[in-house]
Structure 1
Amino acid sequence: MPQLNPNPWFFIMLITWLTFSCLIQPKLLTFVSTNPPSSKAPTTLSTTPWTWPWT
C-alpha cells in the first residue's frame, strides 16, 4: 500500500512547514492591521427591560 509509505510525504510536509515558518510567516506578520485594537474603555449601554403587552 503506497499511501502508507511516509518517506516522500513526510519530507514534503516538513519542507512546507519550514518554508511557511521561516519565509512566509514573518512577511505576513509585518503587515499593519487594518483594524487595530483601541485602548478606550468599552462603553456599557444602559438598557431598559422590555414591557411585554400580555403580562
Structure 2
Amino acid sequence: MPQLNPSPWLSMMLIAWLALSLIIQPKLLSFTSTNPPSHKTPTPSKTTPWTWPWT
C-alpha cells in the first residue's frame, strides 16, 4: 500500500514546513503596516435631532 510509505511525501512536507517557518514567516512579519493604529481618544460627535416638517 503506497499511501503508508512516508518516503515520497514526508521529506517534502518537512522541507515545506521548514521553509515556511524559517524563511517566509520572518520576512512577512518584518513588514510594517502602512496605516498604523493611532492612540487618539475619539471625540464624540454632536448630533442634532431631525426636525420633521409635518410635526
Judge same fold: TM > 0.5, yes or no.
Answer: yes
1:29 aligns to what? Answer: 29
Residues paired across the two proteins, number: 47
Gaps of 5+ in 1: 44-55
TM score, norm. by length of structure 1: 0.57
Identity, % of aligned pairs? Answer: 70
Normalised to the residue count of structure 2, the TM-score between the two structures is: 0.57
CA distance in 2, matches of 1:37, 1:4: 50
The letter for the 2-side match of 1:20 is L
Q: Return the alpha-carbon distance in structure 2 between the equivalents of residues 42 and 14 of structure 1.
A: 48
In structure 2, the gaps of 5 or more residues are 44-55
Larger Rg computed on CA atoms: 2
**Offset, 1:38:** 3.7
Deviations 1:1-55, CA, capped at 9 Å, x for gaps: 2122111211110000001111111110111124434434678xxxxxxxxxxxx
Q: CA RMSD in A?
A: 2.4
